[in-house]
Structure 1
Amino acid sequence: MSVLDRTGRDERAAGEYDERISPGVVAGYGAVAAGAVVLVLFAVLLVGWVTDPRSGGSWMSVLGLSGDVWALAHGGRVHAPVVGSITFAPLLATFAAIVLARTAARPVLATGTRRGLWPTTGAFAGGYAVAGVAISALGYLGPATPSPVYVIPGALLVPLIGFVWAIARDKDDDSPLRAEMIAQYDRVPPMVRKAVRPGLEGLAALTGLGALIVLIAVLTHLARIGAVSGTLDMGLVGAVMLWGGQLTALPNGVAWATTWASGGGLQIGPVDLGIGQVTPGTLPAFPALGGIPEAGPLSSLMLIAPVAVVAIGAAIGWRVVSRTSLLSSVTNKLTQAAVASAIASVTMVVLALVGRAGLGDNAMAYVGPTPLSCLLLIVEVMGAALLTTTLVHWLRSSH
């Protein structure tokens, strides 16, 4: 066989292979990703149901609960008897779903399909969303009533992020999807692309600030958290499930704490947690809520939090100037500072709002950041970044 014959055969085989990778197959991979999430949830909940002698119902109710948790993790809501409507997206579970979506996207990238970036991404996300609506409907097997329509936005966004993440981390330089995404990214103005890294660094700093606040709140109220946990007679398995569930909500607490640091406060049901005072109110016996300070005025040291937020914004502005040529115009630098600070602050606000919680229509109907805290976080970070950029540019230009 000649080299030309062998090359022609390889090209025909590659073309046939590409033709087999239809949008339906890509959508199937998306559906598999959605199914993998609910299988993991079902396995965890089933272990708790089997090992706890006090658990009631059948394994079908466990499957229904898995569908409910899947829906909540994707921004959906369920209606439980007596309690009412429940809204709560444990962000760690949402991130786990994104990771599974990324894993399921890898075989699609390995096929070398040449159907285009957005058609392939749309097919993958569409398959995930269709399967997600069906999975959320499993909640009808349990006592709670799901609302599948509320799942659709999250069921489209999660696979979209996972698929794009998989392409961005693809090691195959010959991947047509990766090449197309790089080509589209290159169309973004250079000043915007240069702002991505300082923006992500600022987002990491804001996340670290929120995590520090949560850590301080937990360490200073360990006794109360333990006392609340002790009042819940749940057994070993129940305690593990309870604390595991609270762990999945840790990113929510970090995002809320970061918005609180702006000075605008948090609303935790009937309790308003401000930067200087906590209003009285009755909260449910939930261990994580034991970390909330007692009602009354708070220490003046809490004012350090808004200062830290402003300092992070200033650091973003300084990083932008340090990464930019001295001859670059102030307009260019301010544009980069605005984009970078927006990446950091707006992303954190979005996470805090997506991670909000609600329980029924009464006192605990809303748990999350106040509109003022969201606005203040964006204004403080962006304002400090722009002011620092202008000041450092002027100082460097005057020498």
Structure 2
Amino acid sequence: MPVTGRARRVLQDDPRPTFFTSAIDGAPRWAVGALTAAQAAALSLLTLAVPAVAVFVATSADPANADVAWTRAVAVATHLWLLAHGVPAVLDGAVVSVVPLGLTMLALFTCYASARRSGLATRVGLVASVGAYGLLAGVVGLVSGADALGALRAVLGGLLVAVPGIGAGLLRRPEAPPWRTLVAPLTERLTAPVVVGLRAGLLAVAASLTVAAVLTTLWVLAGYATIVDVVRGLSLDAIGGVVLGLAELSFVPNLVVWALAWVAGPGFEVGAGTRFSPGEVVGGPLPALPLLGALPDVQGGVALAAPALLLGVGALAGLAVHRWLASVRARDVLVAVGVTAVTVGVLVALLVEAASGAAGPGRMAQVGAQPLLVGLLAAAGCGLGAAVAAVPSDGAVRAAVRDRRERRRVGRARAED
């Protein structure tokens, strides 16, 4: 069959993908990423704004609210949304800087859900989504009246929320590469002990928060009678009860972080001059909030053994290090345990910092715990527990100990000769 030199053309349903174009609908990938971020921000903001407007409509017949516009409800919801991203809010003249971690988790979830549903698991899609979310947070801050520093905090807070939320959502997309493939360039540059230490540190933080959550549940059960009395004393209607319940839920994760500070030893404060720790409880006048009825009133005795829980968490991380690490030298397990302790200390300190701040005027300007102290004690407790569980059972360490004993025995024998 003669060759004519004319190429045969084949029609295909799918266009050839390009770097900046989506193979789904032809839209630029950066535009799809930006729309994903806008959807995530709108979902979390509307989740706060719609109930606020509903409460305004339900209470509009009250003469006390006759001069209040519905935009006031939207403004309050916007300030709460920005507060969830780390921007201090001014509510009724009082500065509130403590981050409601429950609302932050809501923003994380909407980022995850939007990215999983509408995002594109590409580098351009990720950068566009994260960058657009940060810029949208900054724009919301400027529109709500924040200054340049407040807008910058909104951008940074938006980036901190968008990176894990949108990143996790994109990883669930069908076209997303496996997690191990993504982190391979980083893990190949790090040594095995460092990688194992990071993994064990994340495990220890998750286990510590689980212990704190269980402890918080016990506090709620122990203070149930006080919580019920506070709710009855407020004499709330159905709408007020729902609003108060949602507000309380937004600060439950904060109480979990405070419980972690309690387990670490230093404890926390809810108002200037107060202290709640295993060794001392100093109370004071508190706002009539049902959640505060769950504050612990135990001190001394068995409570003093609370830091031992971190030793147990560290032992769990140490067992993970022993299982995951194939030591070549004796110092490998020491490096892994050290990285585990540092990871725990840094993450716990960041969580405590986010869960602390000002919750109102006067005495309530001091709420939470000391991030640096709690982080150091958490790192020490988990690091010690991990060392006890991982170092003695490590094969390289035991071999090094045997070699040293043998060298000492040989040296003593030569000295005697």
Report the TM-score, using the length of structure 2 for normalisation. Answer: 0.81
Q: Are positions 1:62 and 2:69 aligned together?
A: no
Q: How does 1:296-375 map to 2 (within 5 A)?
A: 298-325=299-326, 328-360=328-360, 362-370=362-370, 371-375=372-376
Q: 1:21 aligns with which of 25, 28, 46?
A: 28
Instruction: Give 1:41's aligned amino acid.
Output: L
Shift of 1:264: 1.2
Q: In the alignment, is the contact (CA less than 8 A) between 1:67 and 1:137 conserved in 2?
A: no
Instruction: Give 1:208's aligned amino acid.
Output: T
Superimposed CA distance per residue, residues 94-130 of structure 1 (whole angstroms, 9 cap, x where no aligned partner)? 12211211233346654x75xxx3x543332221122
Q: In the alignment, is the contact (CA less than 8 A) between 1:31 and 1:130 conserved in 2?
A: no
Q: How does 1:112-131 map to 2 (within 5 A)?
A: 117=123, 120-131=125-136
Shift of 1:151: 1.9
**2:193 aligns to what?**
191
Secondary structure in structure 2 of the residue aligned to 1:85: strand
Instruction: Give 1:126's aligned amino acid.
Output: G
**1:268 aligns to what?**
270
Instruction: Give 1:91's aligned amino acid.
Output: L
Shift of 1:373: 2.7
Q: Count residues with an aligned counterpart.
A: 384
* Cα distance change on mapping 1:58 and 1:234 into 2, 3 Å: farther
**1:219 aligns to what?**
221
* Cα distance change on mapping 1:4 and 1:288 into 2, 3 Å: farther
Q: C-alpha distance in 2, partners of 1:330/1:366?
A: 46
Instruction: Give 1:127's aligned amino acid.
Output: A
Q: 1:246 aligns with which of 245, 248, 254?
A: 248
Q: C-alpha distance in 2, partners of 1:188/1:3?
A: 50
Secondary structure in structure 2 of the residue aligned to 1:364: helix
* Cα distance change on mapping 1:174 and 1:331 into 2, 3 Å: closer
Superimposed CA distance per residue, residues 7-50 of structure 1 (whole angstroms, 9 cap, x where no aligned partner)? 78855465683484253553343233212211121122223333
Q: C-alpha distance in 2, partners of 1:3/1:158?
A: 52
* Cα distance change on mapping 1:338 and 1:234 into 2, 3 Å: same
Instruction: Give 2:9's aligned amino acid.
Output: D
* Cα distance change on mapping 1:6 and 1:251 into 2, 3 Å: farther
Superimposed CA distance per residue, residues 326-374 of structure 1 (whole angstroms, 9 cap, x where no aligned partner)? x532221222222234334432331221122313452111211124333
Superimposed CA distance per residue, residues 43-101 of structure 1 (whole angstroms, 9 cap, x where no aligned partner)? 2222333334658323211111111111111111112334x211122212212211211
| Higher alpha-carbon deviation: 64-73 or 276-285 | 276-285
**1:30 aligns to what?**
37
Q: In the alignment, is the contact (CA less than 8 A) between 1:31 and 1:129 conserved in 2?
A: no
* Cα distance change on mapping 1:182 and 1:108 into 2, 3 Å: farther
Shift of 1:185: 4.9
**2:209 aligns to what?**
207
Q: C-alpha distance in 1, partners of 2:8/2:304?
A: 75
Instruction: Give 1:259's aligned amino acid.
Output: A
User: Structure 2 regions of 5+ residues with no counterpart?
Assistant: 1-5, 403-417
Q: Are positions 1:100 and 2:110 aligned together?
A: yes
Report the TM-score, using the length of structure 1 for normalisation. Answer: 0.84
The answer to which structure, 1 or 2, has the higher relative contact order (CA under 8 A, 6+ apart) is 1
Q: C-alpha distance in 2, partners of 1:201/1:15?
A: 37
Q: How does 1:71-82 map to 2 (within 5 A)?
A: 71-82=82-93
Instruction: Give 2:110's aligned amino acid.
Output: L
Secondary structure in structure 1 of the residue aligned to 2:283: coil
Q: In the alignment, is the contact (CA less than 8 A) between 2:197 and 2:336 conserved in 1?
A: yes
Superimposed CA distance per residue, residues 272-319 of structure 1 (whole angstroms, 9 cap, x where no aligned partner)? 11221112322221111122245xx72411022111112211221122
User: Structure 1 regions of 5+ residues with no counterpart?
Assistant: none
| Higher alpha-carbon deviation: 190-199 or 55-64 | 190-199
Q: C-alpha distance in 2, partners of 1:304/1:68?
A: 41
Secondary structure in structure 2 of the residue aligned to 1:36: helix
* Cα distance change on mapping 1:188 and 1:6 into 2, 3 Å: farther
Q: C-alpha distance in 2, partners of 1:196/1:8?
A: 47
Q: In the alignment, is the contact (CA less than 8 A) between 2:264 and 2:307 conserved in 1?
A: yes
* Cα distance change on mapping 1:262 and 1:12 into 2, 3 Å: closer
Q: C-alpha distance in 2, partners of 1:36/1:78?
A: 21
Secondary structure in structure 2 of the residue aligned to 1:32: helix
Identity among equivalent positions (%) equals: 24
Instruction: Give 2:171's aligned amino acid.
Output: A
Shift of 1:203: 2.0
